Structure 1
Amino acid sequence: MPTQENTKVHIRVLENIDRAVIALDNDGIITLFNPAAQAMTGLSERQALGKSFNVLFKGQSPLLKLVATALAAGRSVSNHEDITLYRPLSQPLPASVSVSPLLTESGSCDGAILILRDLSRLQDLEQAMRQSERLSQLGTLAAGLAHEIKNPLGGIKGAAQLLDLELPKESPLREYTAVMIRETERVNTIIEGLLELTRDRQPKWAGVNLGKILGDILLLQKTVYGEKQIDFLLDLDPSIPEFRGDEALLTQLFLNLIKNAAEAISDSGFVRISSKIVADYHLSLPGGRPAPFVTVEIRDNGTGIAREDLERIFTPFYTTKHLGSGLGLPLCQKIVRQHDGMLKAASEPGSGTVFSVSLPLIPPPGSGLGE
């Protein structure tokens, strides 16, 4: 017989496990709905307990079929690839689902247990890995190509400057030498950006204050777009502690994203920067507790990004800007990757864009925590 203490342990396990656990009786009535199930489905325990699973998840045929099969056949069934969980007031969620019969001591079926796992985070990690591989493949080619271009480019610029010195001040040809010099400088800027993208500079780890970095950036950006009416809004979680990071790289990252947001606004609008600690991700530290993540969202109500463009914005040299180089976002991706984080983008044309940066709250060097 289970003791009262064992029962308490089982309850704590169900309350703290990161998988959704839902128990049904033989009639499909929900008898258990743990906190993870509430978070994944968007339904509260009060909304779920005592209700019919078929009614609450009406229209979600693949999920209902798994439950019906487990109850009817008395065997475990699962689907780890093709289940999409549709939720009220939230985006659909890809999920891995296992359903097992709930057996009595005599072996008869007394209901079913569903275990659901959120696969969206796994898909985020897979996408980040693919982007990392693309940048790695680009690196070897880019480094050699940039080296070969820089030398003749310097010669062209030097020749144009000498020619400009030889021409009379009133000569109309000086207009052409000015164009040559300007364009070689532009190409050189692109090459330098490409080299920065492929250069293996190791971060200089120290304790960083996220609120200070974002506050300093906004203080400067508010004076840059005087011709536009842009409200820069800052909504930071004051409980976020200092964590391990490279302040210069993180400043470059957030400055680029905030500038992109402001430039996406035509005449008037807002750029909202918010931060919060999230429980969706954890990074395992050697010999220490898992590190939670902080997510910073940079949201604007600008022109937005078309879906076909959104899939390619982290590809080097791909840009939707008239004078853009297409290297800013890939560089942001590299900085986030160096910090063991993730960078995502979501957008609706005409409604704006949101970039989400998730970084692990690894204790600063020398703190003795997680080391």
Structure 2
Amino acid sequence: MPEMPQRRPRTGRSPVSGTTGATAERRLASRLTSPDDRFFRHIVDSMRNGVIAFRRDGTLALMNDEAYRIFALERSPGDVGRPYVDVLRERPPVIRVLSGVFELDHLPNRAELRLKELDRVIGYTLSQVKNDEGTAIGAVMFFKDLTQVEQLEERERLRERLVSLGEMAAGIAHELKNPLAGIEVMAGLLRRQVPTEGDAQSLLADIISEAKLANAIVVEMLEFVRPVRLQVERTDVADVLQQSVTLAETKVPRRGVDLKVDLEAGLPAIEGDQ
């Protein structure tokens, strides 16, 4: 009777690969820590943008150092594989954005999110991760801290508002300057025509003094907010000279001096700002 072959005792060796379970695990670990895989992780960790990737079941697949920094979170060894809602539980606005990634028909290519608890603004993009059949198996979020950019833009907006305010103030001051000068001139002329004694002289002196004070304030404002946009228009030279003479007469004592203005008739108008 032929001898029956003895059955060998079972071991932990795989019938296909001929390796033990422990060896298979080591090989799998070796693949996960292969140079290509490590290089990929180094790339992601070296990015200046934050990156969060998670699977369709909601478990975290990847979150780089920049993401932890921007969200002000501490990295834990067991974060990968946990539900991303647990890892990001301190950042509800981010969870709300990520939770709709598989429901939206069109994902934002460029959007902003304000994190009030951190006083930060991030700009982000969302993408679905699809397999060869086109089925969404996960999602990834790329984002960048825009807080400094937002602050610079706010300062620029403030600067533009201040420039507009300065231009408006300069325009108002420029329009006030001529009426104030006119008040001073007219008060000076009236002062010469009223008796030297009495309340009228005192009142006119006060008017001239206040007009000079207001005019000085306007001049200081104009100096502060210059340059002023000139209001160029057709101007009659004779009128300008006559107004200048009248103004000079109110400021300079006559002392026996008789001022006469002799202008040639038909002087052409010029382009100027009064």
TM-score (norm 2): 0.47
Decide which structure has the larger Cα Rg and report it: 2
Greater share of residues in helix: 2
TM-score (norm 1): 0.37
Greater share of residues in strand: 1
